[in-house]
């Protein structure tokens, strides 16, 4: 079993990255092979809304015309058994790197020729607020909207602020372990 975490903060030692790492530590303790992807290290451009209707090759071929790191990251997402997606909360919403990636992913996964390769993929979402934490609820709603468009399934969503960091790191570790057990149980039910 393989669990991948994508953390979308430029601060690789901050709250968002720590939460993603804690979730992976839980999954790894339960037997998963894990990988932490620092999205800000990758080159992922914004959607160009190609074509007359704002759709290009994404609609017809489920792929993007932009040649950057998105396609290889999507391949990792498709190949894993479960995902941890962690974003800092900026102005009550997901971070810009998270938005750039998932604006393009949902276009490729939503189009008429889409293979729906991420449909049914289990996701643990994490919204990490460095400030008051008041923006976490709306950020989690934004994250869930992306998942719905892509057809991914929400395992759980966690919100954390600096005030709740200590006990939410424990919760993230438990959630990562529970995600792996859930995905494993789902796979066993299919077979």
- Taking only the tens place, the pLDDT of each residue in 144-184 is 999 999 999 999 999 999 999 999 999 999 999 999 999 98
How far apart, in Å, are the Cα atoms of 181 and each of 30, 125, 132? 8, 16, 33
Rounded Cα distance between 176 and 171, Å, is 9
Name all domains of the chain by residue range, CATH numbers in brackets: 2-190 (3.40.50.360)
User: Is the model's pLDDT at 187 over the cut of 70?
Assistant: no
Comparing CA positions, the residue from 170, 138, 151 lying closest to residue 105 is 151
pLDDT mean over 83-108: 96
Query: For the residues 55-74, what does the mean pLDDT come to?
Result: 89
pLDDT digits (tens, 9 = 90+) for 96-118: 999 999 999 998 887 765 578 89
Q: Is 0.75 surpassed by the pTM of this model?
A: yes
* pLDDT of 66 strictly over 60: yes
C-alpha span between 159 and 126 (Å, rounded): 6
């Amino acid at each position: 079993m393989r669990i991948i975490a994508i953390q979308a903060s430029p601060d690789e030692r901050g709250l968002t990255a720590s939460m993603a790492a804690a979730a992976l530590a839980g999954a790894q303790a339960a037997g998963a092979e894990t990988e932490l992807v620092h999205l800000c290290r990758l080159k992922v451009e914004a959607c160009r809304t190609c074509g007359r209707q704002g759709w290009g090759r994404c609609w017809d071929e489920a792929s993007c015309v932009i040649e950057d790191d998105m396609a290889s990251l999507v391949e990792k997402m498709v190949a894993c058994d479960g995902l941890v997606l962690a974003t800092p909360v900026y102005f009550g919403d997901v971070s810009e790197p998270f938005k750039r990636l998932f604006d393009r992913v949902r276009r490729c996964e939503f189009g008429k020729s889409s293979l729906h390769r991420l449909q049914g993929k289990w996701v643990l979402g994490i919204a990490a607020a460095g400030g008051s934490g008041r923006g976490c609820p709306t950020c989690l709603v934004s994250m869930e909207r992306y998942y719905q468009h892509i057809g991914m399934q929400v395992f759980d969503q966690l919100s954390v602020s600096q005030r709740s960091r200590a006990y939410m790191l424990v919760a993230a570790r438990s959630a990562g372990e529970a995600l792996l057990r859930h995905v494993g149980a789902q796979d066993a039910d299919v077979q």
